[in-house]
Amino acid sequence: MPLATLRQVLDEAAKGRYGVGAFNANNMEQVQGIVSAAQEVGAPVIIQVSRGALSYAGKNYMRHLITAAAETAPEIPIVLHLDHGDKPETCYDAIELGFTSVMMDGSLLADGKTPSDYEYNVEVTRRVVEAAHAQGVSVEGELGTLGGIEDGHGSGEVHLTDPDQAVDFVDKTGVDALAVAIGTSHGAYKFTAKPTGEVLAMHLIEEIHQKLPDTHMVMHGSSSVPQELVDRINAALGIRHGVRKINVDTDGRLAITAALREALNANPSEFDPRAFFKPAREAQKQVAAERLMQFGAAGHAGDYQVLSLPEMAERYDRSPVGA
Ligand code: G3H
Ligand code: 13P
Ligand code: ZN
């Protein structure tokens, strides 16, 4: 099966009324853990790769790892997605490299820190959509900014998404998916005060979904630390109201680090790295499998045939942006 596009995977998720986990990967063990989880529960899956991941692993290693995953699990729709593209050129490079989906995060300037103005966001996102759709590749945009800073990424300021602006943004850019800011943060330090059920502005999700029933929403910063239950309940509520892609990075990082520490402490004389990386891979798998089940994606891998990029390009050609 070829790599799937975000557009098709989220269209199918909307039909089936479930969400799809988007898990960040930086190395072989994470890719293997995520894909074997998807196989175990029979779910479509999104593997997302940040600029940091590309520079850590190397572009070719990353691309071939995901191709290997697709060959190993031909029964699973797997999307290869660029997480937080900082400028159009980064997205074009990813498309050239074989990514089937890219995020143009125009909510921040190219420094990945300074919140941009609306016109800038529309312009860079629209340009990426035009180039990506010509090749059948999907695009995620972002409106509003999240809290938290991960690896230098993010302004740390929260600007919640304005539902009316979201309508205008989707109309002008033609994005396939829209990351919305409803109060979630990237990383492990999500809340300065003890969060309550109201900490996330779930009403915004409902309002945006009412105004844009055909636009797939993306929830960034969805790792559940430290308020696991609150976040899980809110994720379920979000899925009911159009959240289709749910980004999880930190949960995998924490699970891997815990497994490594435990293995190292339990066997101080061990020096075969496989003894440590195996439980780390298993820990990533557990996180992905749990989330895929929680989001309702389990059992949906075989619901459809994956469309190729040329088939997707033809679809976009028939209904261009603004038509
Ligand atoms: O939103 C950021 C993602 O969690 C990726 O983080 O840039 O440290 O790889 P990273
Ligand atoms: P977390 O690290 O909080 O899970 O956020 C992940 C994310 O949004 C990646 O884009
Ligand atoms: Zn993010």
Evaluated on CA atoms 63, 68, 69, 73, the torsion sign reads positive
- Under the banding of pLDDT at 50, 70 and 90, the label for residue 232 is low
**pLDDT given for residue 196 in this prediction:** 45
- Under the banding of pLDDT at 50, 70 and 90, the label for residue 151 is low
Q: Could you tell me the residue range of the domain that residue 213 belongs to?
A: 6-316
Tell me the mean pLDDT in the region 33-50.
Answer: 98
Residue 195 predicted with pLDDT over 50 = no
Q: How far is CA 141 from CA 144, 235, 248, in A?
A: 10, 20, 17
Tokens of 10: 């989220």
**pLDDT given for residue 323 in this prediction:** 53
- Report if residue 322 sits inside a domain: no
The maximal CA–CA distance of the chain, rounded, in angstroms, is 66
**pLDDT given for residue 152 in this prediction:** 57
Q: Measuring from atom 8 of ligand 2, which residue has the nearest CA?
A: 220
- Report if residue 184 sits inside a domain: yes
* Dist. CA 213 → ligand 3 center (Å): 22
Cα 203 from Cα 23, distance rounded (Å):
26
Residues touching ligand 2 (Cβ under 6 Å) are 24, 83-84, 150, 186-187, 220-223, 247-250
- Report if residue 222 sits inside a domain: yes
For ligand 1, say whether the CB of 81 is within 6 Å of any of its atoms: no
- Grouping H, G, I as helix, E, B as strand and the rest as coil, residue 16 is helix
Tell me the mean pLDDT in the region 302-314.
Answer: 98
Tell me the mean pLDDT in the region 133-162.
Answer: 80
Which tops the pLDDT comparison, 229 or 65? Answer: 65
- Report if residue 251 sits inside a domain: yes
**pLDDT given for residue 194 in this prediction:** 43
- Report if residue 323 sits inside a domain: no
Cα 289 from Cα 27, distance rounded (Å):
18
- Report if residue 207 sits inside a domain: yes
Q: Measuring from atom 6 of ligand 1, which residue has the nearest CA?
A: 150
Residue 21 predicted with pLDDT over 80 = yes
What mean pLDDT, rounded, does the chain reach?
Answer: 90
For ligand 1, say whether the CB of 145 is within 6 Å of any of its atoms: no
User: Is 83 marked active-site?
Assistant: yes
- Under the banding of pLDDT at 50, 70 and 90, the label for residue 197 is very low
The one-character DSSP state at 115 is B
Tell me the mean pLDDT in the region 92-115.
Answer: 95
Strand partners, 150: 153
- Under the banding of pLDDT at 50, 70 and 90, the label for residue 185 is confident
* Dist. CA 311 → ligand 2 center (Å): 30
For ligand 1, say whether the CB of 52 is within 6 Å of any of its atoms: yes
Q: Above pLDDT 90, what percent of the chain?
A: 76
Phi-psi region of 50 (alpha: psi -120 to 50; beta: other; left: phi over 0): beta
- Report if residue 248 sits inside a domain: yes
The candidate with the shortest Cα–Cα distance to 89, out of 58, 46, 124, is 124
Cα 163 from Cα 237, distance rounded (Å):
18
CATH number at residue 211: 3.20.20.70
Residue 178 predicted with pLDDT over 60 = yes
Number of domains into which the chain is organized: 1
pTM: 0.93
**pLDDT given for residue 231 in this prediction:** 64
Catalytic residue among 11, 83, 105, 249: 83
- Report if residue 16 sits inside a domain: yes
Q: What ligand 1 atom has the least distance to the C-alpha of 154? A: 1
Which tops the pLDDT comparison, 199 or 266? Answer: 266
